[in-house]
Amino acid sequence: MKKNVPLLITFIAGMAMIIQYFVPHRPFSDIQQVFNAWFLIITVFAMTLGIGNLMKIHIERVHRLRSGWWYSIVLLVAFVVMFAAGIFGGIERGTFFYYLYWHMHIPMSSTMFALLAFFVASASYRAFRARTPEATVLLASAILVMIGRVPIGNYIWDRLPLISDWIMSYPNMAGQRAIMIGIALGVVSTSLRIILGIERTYLAGK
């Protein structure tokens, strides 16, 4: 039950999803819709378990007064307030939940993403050091793209925006497509390993 049944279910589900792409007839044509419905159901249960586990961890942290327990209090209070506001007051425009979402959640999320700019700047400084020929090309390309994407670049040289667009449209796009092809090959190989039972990490190493 702990090993063979999950492997059998994974194999049948994986093969069914593969077959439905090559056999456009019923019942195979309806398999994707059925699986999508089951996926949503499983997602709800997984989200419920995740929320419950999150609450359990932070309640235990507050109870034992571990390091940073006051942050756990903020999380618990915010969760209870947002949950109660959504359940009892609705989420339509003009409700308390709507107000909290647009006037507290969105600004705080924007602040978090704004703080990431400092980490990006720090990482860029370390990555763009011209220690090797490849790093020099990366540094020059980054400078051309950044200057060409701002208004001052057009005042420095009217061809800088064109150079920036060319770098983004050709070398950058070629690199992105190569990465996407590599990701696709990795997804296919990992999927086949899981379907055939070679990769069993989802069974907790069994």
Number of domains the chain contains: 2
Q: What is the reported pLDDT for 37?
A: 87
Question: Which of 143, 149, 176 is CA-nearest to residue 162?
Answer: 149
> CA-to-CA distance for 93 and 145, rounded, in angstroms?
41
Same domain assignment for residues 6 and 67: yes
Residue 137 lies in a domain: no
- Which stretches does DSSP call E strand in 72-149? none
Which residues, including other chains, have CB under 8 Å from residue 128's CB and lie 6 or more apart?
135, 138, 139, 142
Same domain assignment for residues 64 and 104: no
Residue 10 lies in a domain: yes
Helices vs strands, H then E, count in the chain = 9, 0
- Judge if the upstream peptide bond of residue 27 is cis by omega within 30 degrees of 0: yes
Tell me the pLDDT tens digit for each residue of 8-31.
Answer: 888 888 888 888 888 877 777 787
Residue 1 lies in a domain: yes
Residue 101 lies in a domain: yes
Residue 162 lies in a domain: no
Whole-structure pTM value = 0.58
Residue 205 lies in a domain: no
Same domain assignment for residues 94 and 66: no
- Is the model's pLDDT at 206 over the cut of 60? no
Check residues 200 and 172 and name the one with the higher pLDDT.
Answer: 172
Mean pLDDT of the chain: 86
Same domain assignment for residues 65 and 101: no
Same domain assignment for residues 1 and 69: yes
- Is the model's pLDDT at 179 over the cut of 70? yes
Map residue 140 onto helix, strand or coil: helix
Question: Which of 145, 198, 195, 199 is CA-nearest to residue 171?
Answer: 145
Residue 53 lies in a domain: yes
DSSP 3-state helix, strand, coil percentages of the chain (rounded to 5)? Answer: 80, 0, 20
The domain in which residue 120 lies consists of 90-127
Same domain assignment for residues 5 and 64: yes
